[in-house]
Amino acid sequence: MISNICALNRTAIILLAFGSFSVSCQNAEQLAFTQYRVQGERLYQQHCSNCHQPKGKGLARLYPPVAPSDYLRNNFEKIICGMKFGMEGEIIVNGVMYNQRMPGVAALTDMEVAQIATYIYFLDSGNKKRITTTEVSAILGRCP
């Protein structure tokens, strides 16, 4: 019995050591991407999923999908601006017209916008590029 417990403890220690090793193998950019994606998902669920739905599929013809979304892929700066300042007017997403006002979330920081953007672009196309706060700040400075 004691030898079985010792064997389990050795196995657990080996697994923990291997797990720590595999996490430490991520480079700094991969780790930053993962952090932004995870935090972005949390923020998306809090601020965006009520309309765009938890998996980003949208809601019928009322609210457009963000995954998949040709509009998202072709209008990066409009998406960034829209998160903070809102959007209105007709848009075509995946061949379907939407004309529902989207309120912005003015309280979002530039980093939070970057995190949500990282998450939704990953959700849409599997993009593993982190959207940086520097990129977002520059774009938000140009929003109408």
Q: Is residue 7 part of a domain?
A: no
Q: Is residue 2 part of a domain?
A: no
**CB 94, CB 104: distance < 8 Å:** no
Q: How confident is the model at residue 78 (pLDDT cuts 50, 70, 90)?
A: very high
- Residue 24: the pLDDT is 56
Q: How confident is the model at residue 12 (pLDDT cuts 50, 70, 90)?
A: very low
Domains contained in the chain, number: 1
Q: How far apart are CA 128 and CA 119, in angstroms?
A: 9
- Residues for the chain: how many in total? 144
CATH code of the domain in which 51 resides: 1.10.760.10
**CB 48, CB 63: distance < 8 Å:** no
pLDDT tens digits, one per residue of 79-129: 999 999 999 999 999 999 999 999 999 999 999 999 999 999 999 999 999
Q: Is residue 5 part of a domain?
A: no
Domain of residue 110, residue span: 27-140
Q: Is residue 105 part of a domain?
A: yes
Bigger pLDDT: 14 vs 27:
27
**CB 38, CB 130: distance < 8 Å:** no
Closest CA to 96 of 137, 126, 135, 68: 68
Closest CA to 84 of 25, 29, 133: 133
Q: Is residue 56 part of a domain?
A: yes
Q: Is the pLDDT of residue 142 over 70?
A: yes
Bigger pLDDT: 135 vs 13:
135
Q: Is residue 10 part of a domain?
A: no
- Residue 64: the pLDDT is 98
Q: Is residue 17 part of a domain?
A: no
Residue with tokens 């019995």: 1
Q: Is residue 3 part of a domain?
A: no
